[in-house]
Every structure is written in C-alpha cells, then in structure tokens.
Amino acid sequence: MLNRRNMLQGMAAGVGAAFGTSLLPQRLLASPSSATTPKRVIFFMQNQGFDPKTCIPAGMTSSGSLAKAKLPEPIEALEPYKERLHIINGLHGRHTSPSHSAFFGALGGYRGGDGVPPSAATIDYELSKVLPQTLLPHLCIGMDSIENMTTKPTLATLSASGAGQPIFMYSDPNQLYQTLYGGISTGDIRLQHETRSSMLTEIEKLAAAKGRSLPAADQQRYGQYVQGFKDINGLRDRLGTVAEHLREFAPKVDERYSNPEFETDWHDVLLDLGISALAAGITNTLTIGSGRGEIFGAWKGLGVDQQGHNLGHMDQPDNPIWIKIRQYNSRMLVKIMETLESVPEGSGTMMDHTLIVYTSNNADKQHTDGANWPVMLLGNFDGAFKTGCFTQLDGKRPINALFATLLRAAGQNCDRFNMNDNLARKFDVGTGPLKEVLV
C-alpha cells in the first residue's frame, strides 16, 4: 500500500538530489566509434579523519615503490591491488578549517564549516562537467546510522555545483532505486514509480505557474526550486529511453532495502546502486560520503558499538574499531574495482579508465588543523597517474593542487583550483599539477 507521507518524502529527496546538477540529454555510454575515451572518477570520503599510519607501510618514510612493501592491516584488502595503488602523504588543507569537518571545503579546497554554505563548486562536480557526458553526470550517496538515514534521507554537506548551490546525497536506497530503476521495475516498485512520476509532473506545472506571480526578488530562488523538479522529471524520461540497457545492471531488490538489520545493510546496497550506475553508464562521477561529511556515522553491522563523535576521539592506528571500519572501506573499494574490471570497455575494461580517490573530509584526524591530508588513489585514469607507489610530499602544497591535477588529467587546463593569488601566496609554494603523481 502506498503511504502518502512516504511518497512525499521520496519526492522531496528526488528533487533534492537533483538540485544543483545539470542533467543534459547526453548519450548513456560513449560510442565505440567515438574518439573520446569514457572516463569516470569516484570519490570516497570517510569522516573522522584518515590517519596516515593506517595506510603507509611500516618503515616507509620517503617516496618509493610499494612492490616489496606490506600494506597495513586496515587496508590489507588492497594488497592484491598494490600495483594500482598510489598513497600520497603531505598535502595540506590548513585553509579549509577542517577541525570537525571541512564539509564542502574538503572537495572544494576552501574554508568550510558546519552550516556554512559552499563558496564555489567542488571538484567532483567540476569533473562531471569535463568528463564525457552521461545521463546523470554526478551521483552522490551518503552512509550514516540507520536513524539518520531514515530521518534525513538526503543531506548536502560535501558536494556543490557553485556558490550557495549544494548537491544532495541519497541515503535511502529505496529512493535511489526508484530514481534509477523505477521505470523498469514491476509490482509495488513500478506502481510507486508511476504514482511518484505523475505527482512530480503535476507539482512541476503548479510550481512553475505559481512562481510567475512572485515578486521579482523571489523569482530567481523559486526558479531554482522549479528547475529541480524539471531535472528529476527529465532524468526519469531519459532513463526510460534506455530501459532495456538498464535491465542488465539493475541490482536485485532484497530484504536489506525494506528491512535492514544494521545500517551496514543500507551502506552495502547504496554501494551496489552507485556501482551499478557507473557500470551502466548512467553517471561518470560518484561521490560516496561515509559519515556524510559530518561527525556522526555508525557501523554496528561490523560489531562496532560506539558511534558518532566518540569515534573521532579515538586514535586510529592499532585501534580494533578503526581497523574494522577501514577494512570495510577497503572491501568496498575492492568491490568497485572488481565490478568495473569485469565490464569491457575499448581495448580494456572500465577500471582502466577510472580513478578512485579515497580520503577524508577531516584531513588526518578529528580536531585537526589540516596540516596533513593523506590520500589514496586507485587506478591510473587511462594511464595518466603513477601507480604502485608511495609519494611523500613536504606539506607545502594544498589539496587544491591535487584537484587541479585531476582536472588536468581529465583534459582541462587548470593551474589552480578554487585558490586565488592572495590565498596561494599564503598556502601554496607552487602552481600547476602535482608532477609527483602524474606519469
């Protein structure tokens, strides 16, 4: 039976998740005859910080190969994939004020804070515009406690399409499934999809008509709201045109969706949906927020009783709790790689043209000044990035330099990302991409 309250929540989530993105009617997958190689980037942001001792092999203090090194226990699941791994230590984000979290500043490379709106677009969104276009250029998913994901099925803390334009994360897998695969479903899911689609179309018409009667000062803000409905309705229509293709990639809906035992059940199926959207070619940029960019989060499904802010006040190295969380993250990274590796693309596989960026929205630890911001890269992005190595930097270049490097690798000429000359004089000793990480 359809519940009106749940239906309206789902509608709001759909509009929120689309708000701030540009959903242009582009091709689903790059044509085999196209000269443009399909590429994609995945950002995995774990909250509470990323202590470098949980990823740098013991004894490695300077840059070098990982070939003979043994990865630390928290990321040991990546051991078979060392040749695709690049660990970077020594970037900084002091200018982002990441104490509890840099929020939008973590991917924006600017000052952030709780309740502070984004001051510019974030790197994930900027990349989604540069990469070969897909039906939904940018998808964000957020993982949290079951209570937080239920009460706030969408939340915007990490990604933005511009100043004051946050992009919302999906945290309820049922709503995300409806958005991506509702049109090819049967039974109750199909009924809910059709009812929701009809209601969204009517609301778009009513909202557009109502907006014309508002004072001029309010019309622009209201227009953004109306555009959100247009975007989600347009995405639904475009996905409908490739229904047969989507059937090959839609995950199977099971009890974890409707009756999760632990929050990690929802984490797992959210990941499945994100991977399926990449594999199907629906999106070219996926942002995963474990902890959703805040100080909360829970992992009871891993046997971790503590949750939220308390986790940030624990030392991560040799901590059995953080070993479990980081190992869980590593298994997720492996699942992404194995799935993309199984999908042929060009003369190789999808993973050959993919880059995964793993870090934290909180630099190296909770209550940090951002002096060190460790990052792991997986994949070489069609041969652009060095792999199988560890790079130790001197702490004088900001995370913005890495973001400029990503844009360069994606084909956009970028010397600085969200950093003007005045800011750069204080926080960056160089300009242009990080030569240490590029081939």
Tell me the CATH number at 288: 3.40.720
Torsion of CA 270, 271, 275, 280, to 10 degrees: -10
* 12 lies in some domain: no
* Run of H or E including 48: none
* 162 lies in some domain: yes
* 309 lies in some domain: yes
Residue 192 has a pLDDT of 64
Residue 187 has a pLDDT of 67
Burial class (CB in 10 A: 0-12, 13-18, 19+), 293: buried
Question: C-alpha 393: how far from its chain's center?
Answer: 25
Residue 240 has a pLDDT of 79
**How many percent of the chain have pLDDT more than 90?**
74
Residue 15 has a pLDDT of 41
SS3 letters across 95-112: HHCCCCCCCHHHHHCCCC
Residue 94 has a pLDDT of 98
Mean pLDDT by 10 residues, the chain (439 residues): 39 40 38 66 98 97 98 98 98 96 98 96 98 92 98 96 94 93 70 54 56 58 55 73 89 96 98 96 96 96 94 96 98 98 94 98 96 98 97 98 98 96 96 96
* 255 lies in some domain: no
Give the mean pLDDT of the chain. Answer: 87
Between the CA of residue 414 and those of 171, 395, 396, what are the distances in Å? 33, 21, 19
Residue 422 has a pLDDT of 95
> Would you say the C-alpha torsion 145, 8, 160, 104 has a positive or negative sign?
negative
Residue 37 has a pLDDT of 77
* 144 lies in some domain: yes
* 264 lies in some domain: yes
d(CA 360, CA 289): 9
Residue 235 has a pLDDT of 77
SS3 letters across 391-405: EEEEEEEEHHHHHHH
Expressed as residue numbers, the domain containing 51 is 23-174+260-427
Residue 32 has a pLDDT of 44
* 369 lies in some domain: yes
Domain count, the chain: 1
The 10s digit of each residue's pLDDT in 324-365 is: 999 999 999 999 999 999 999 999 999 999 999 999 999 999
Whose tokens are 């400029």? That residue is 404
Question: C-alpha 243: how far from its chain's center?
Answer: 25
* 30 lies in some domain: yes
